[in-house]
Amino acid sequence: MPHVITSPCIDVKDQSCTEVCPVECIYDAGEMFLIHPDECIDCGACVPACPVAAIYPEEDTPQDQLPFIAKNREFFGL
């Protein structure tokens, strides 16, 4: 999974990230947005667009946010 959306997105869902995503791989998952790991092309356009700094490359996800890697995968049945 190239990028992961983490807890700062919960209940914010600003949509700035969805507007800049060239492949439309960011989906509304109820309380937050999630990135489809098979659709993301790892362009990183969503990272600076996020007003709450909730998006990280998977390998740079902070320790306390690691459960969101699994949350992204589980949401998409992966």
Each residue's pLDDT tens digit, 22-75: 999 999 999 999 999 999 999 999 999 999 999 999 999 999 999 999 998 999
Tell me the backbone φ, ψ of residue 15, rounded to 5 degrees. 80, 0
Which CATH number is 3-75's, of 3.40.50.620, 3.20.20.10, 3.40.50.970, 3.30.70.20?
Answer: 3.30.70.20
What's the CA gap between 48 and 38, in Å, rounded? 21
Residue 62 DSSP one-character state: -
The letter for the amino acid at 17 is C
Q: Which pLDDT band holds residue 13 (cuts at 50, 70, 90)?
A: confident
pTM score, whole prediction: 0.92
